[in-house]
Structures are given as C-alpha cells and as structure tokens.
Structure 1
Amino acid sequence: MKALIVDDLPLDAELTQRALHRCDSAYEVTVVSDGEAALTTLRETCDFDLILLDLALPKVDGFEVLKELSSKPFLSDVPIIVLSSSRKGSDQVRTRMLGACGFVEKALDFAVFHADLATTLERNGLRA
C-alpha cells in the first residue's frame, strides 16, 4: 500500500511516517512539503491508497488541495486524512465537506497522536 504525506515541517512529516508505520508497516511512504508538490505528484501518479494532509501548507494550502482532489474523478476515491494542529471545529467540518474521511489533531504527545491516527485508519478500513 502507498501513502502520501503532505507536510511542510520535516519533523512533523517524520513523526507522521513513524506513527503510520506503527499502525501498519505495509505502507510505502512518499513525502512532499507543500500543496503544489502534492498536486503535481498526484497528477503524475495516482496510485496512492492514502493521503495524510496537513492544512497549513505553503504555496497551496490543504483546503485548496482537498478542493482540487475532490474535483478529479480519478483521485476523488483516494482516502484523505487531514492532520492539523488546528483545534477549530469549523476546520474539521470544512475538511469533511471537502471530502476528507478523517481529521487527526497533531498532538504534542506522540502516543496520543499515534492512537488517534490508528483509530482513524481503522475506522476507515485503512489498516491491514
């Protein structure tokens, strides 16, 4: 299975990759650091099984990435889980309306972040 992690902060991307591999080591991970690179990568190869998307991105933010992906029939069925430090309920609602299947708050405690990601993956049938 292939996962795309979109996060502009290298440490956050690394922690997300670690948490994902603890949930399911079968994921082959690609990391990009902005929304523009995510869209380019997805246009070039649309064979990802999962996208883990930060909202606060340079160039093209996560909301715009969600809008673009939901408008492309060949990408609209790829599950997207938003990872964000945002605590706004309106951001969670907006991401769901734009097609995200889950929202995981970036926690300072890795164990909490991992548990939330694991729960979200399981709820969406994305664990082996």
Structure 2
Amino acid sequence: MKTRPIEILLVEDNEDDIVLIQEVFGDASLVNVMKTVRDGEEALAYLRGEGPYRDALVPGLILLDINMPRKNGFEVLKEMKSDPRLRALPVVMLTTSDREEDVLRSYADGACSYIRKPLDLQHFSKVVGQFELYWTLVSRLPVSA
C-alpha cells in the first residue's frame, strides 16, 4: 500500500520529544519534510511567512504541543483559526497532557485530533503507524500552497 507523503510542521519545545518524534516519523513513509519550531510565536511566524520564514512552504499538517514558551498551543490554535489564511490547516494536538479539559478545549478551539504522546518508543512507533495510515489513506488534506 503506497502512501502519499506530506509536509508536517512540528511545534514542540522539548528537545527529547523533538528527537523522538523525528526519529519515529523518519522511519515512516508519511513524511517527506518535517520542519520544527520551538514555540508558539515562532510557529505563527512560520505559518504567516514572516521574518526568516518568508520562503517557508505552508505545511499539510501541524503537530502542536500545548505547553510551550511565549505562546502556548491553545493560543496558537486560536490565532490560526481566526486567520482566514490559516484556519483550514489541519492541527493535531500532540501533547503529554491527558487532562479532559485540554481535550475538550482543543476540539472546541478547532483541533482536528488530540493525541497523547506515548511514553515509550515502541508504543509511539505503533501510534505513528496508525497515524500514517489515517492521514495518508483515509483523510484528505488540503493541497499545500
């Protein structure tokens, strides 16, 4: 079964999580490009093509952590969904939080999925495999600009 590679913007401030996510996604055929930014302000600048991101391509999917410096994931999500140029971009909350309030708020603010980061590499690899099948074979993403 052939999958369609997509570009992902990872918004994550924890270096260990970044390495783990890049490693696991690197083993999957899902991603042809994964860009990483480390806080909410940087994520919005990237998505809006501001400053050093003037030539950045619009990603097909955003993986957004909740707890970050400068702007948290909820603030980023809210700003994205209020911006006509960004509101259609699919956002998956990828976080360590298992709090029901965070799940409810994510969906209420416009996230299309909420995934709790698994703590071990083997389980995380399995989650990424299922994620890959869904986002490349089941779901249709908008074409990147």
Question: What TM bracket, shorter-length normalisation?
Answer: 0.7 to 0.9
Normalised TM-score (structure 2): 0.78
Is the partner of 2:62 in helix, strand or coil? strand
Inter-partner Cα distance in structure 2 for 1:91 and 1:121: 24
Structure 2: gaps of 5 or more residues: 1-5, 50-55
Report if the CA contact (8 A) 1:5-1:51 is conserved. Answer: yes
In structure 1, list runs of 5 or more residues that go unmatched.
none
User: What is the aligned-residue RMSD (CA, Å)?
Assistant: 2.0
Report the equivalent of 1:53.
64
Identity rate of aligned residues, in percent?
33
1:118, 1:25 → 2: CA distance? 9
Could you tell me how far 1:121 is from its partner in structure 2?
4.4
Matched, 1:100 2:137: no
Match of 1:74 among 78, 85, 92: 85
Q: Which residue of 1 aligns with 2:28?
A: 23
TM-score (norm 1): 0.87
Deviating beyond 3 angstroms after TM superposition, the runs of 4 or more aligned structure 1 residues are: 120-124
Larger Rg: 2
Matched letter for residue 58 of structure 2 = D
Structure 1 distance, partners of 2:89, 2:117, is 21
C-alpha displacement of 1:91 = 0.6
Deviations 1:35-69 (A, max 9, x none): 00000111104611011111000000000000011
Aligned to 1:8: 13
In the alignment of these two chains, the number of paired residues is 127
